[in-house]
Amino acid sequence: MAPRKLLALIAVTGCSSAVLADGRIEMPLSDIFYWGGAIDEFHLGDAGAEYGNAKIISIEWTGLTLETYNNVGVPNYGSEAMLGLETTNANGDKEELWFFPFPDANYQGTPDNPIEQPEGETYSFDLQDYNLELDALGQIRGLVTSAWYDGASPDDGYYAGKWSGGTVTVNYEKIPAPGVLALLGIAGLARGRRRRRN
């Protein structure tokens, strides 16, 4: 099992970076059921093999909407819903990164009154110091679970809740592949030679 990291702080800001952080993987959350007895994948993000092992700069999310269910007489709360990423560290080992998008929602979200992220707001974490990467194929997995397992089985239709909307975005360093860097170097040498001839 991949080691887990839990993000505890939320920054209400837009993500930015001075380095080439212009690669984005968007992972939609629409009609995604989750429960507390297992970890499930909600999206496989793919930047392409040319960005294998690219450094992850930040994660952000916007427009999240959540419904939670009451299966055992005690409702699942929005504060228990977790989103995660399966990433790779600098050693090539898998790691899971988890966070609570609604840490203060200690109540049930219903279809008529869902738990919603304020319109137009983007929440984000700066991950540059975590030394996490896309995998060797340039992929990353989006994960869902709940911090509380109420004992109900999804096989019987008893999920903890449902993400009904929103987007999680992973920003990564968009560094050219080694072959592209070599071509850029050759082009630079050719330009230098032309200058010396003139």
- For the stretch 9-66, pLDDT in tens is 443 333 333 344 589 999 999 999 999 989 999 999 999 999 999 999 999 999 999 9
User: Which residues make Cβ contacts (< 8 Å) with residue 193, sequence separation at least 6?
Assistant: none
Instruction: Please state the rounded mean pLDDT for residues 162-169.
Output: 97
Measured CA distances, 103 to 10, 47, 78 (Å): 9, 30, 7
The answer to whether the pTM exceeds 0.95 is no
How does residue 143 score in pLDDT terms, banded at 50, 70 and 90?
Answer: very high
* Residue 14, pLDDT score: 39
How does residue 129 score in pLDDT terms, banded at 50, 70 and 90?
Answer: very high
**Other C-beta atoms within 10 Å of 48: how many?**
13
Tens of pLDDT, residue by residue over 81-114, are 999 999 999 888 999 999 999 999 999 999 999 9
Asked whether the predicted pLDDT for residue 168 surpasses 60, the reply is: yes
* Residue 194, pLDDT score: 42
- What residues pair up with 32 in beta bridges, in sequence order? 163
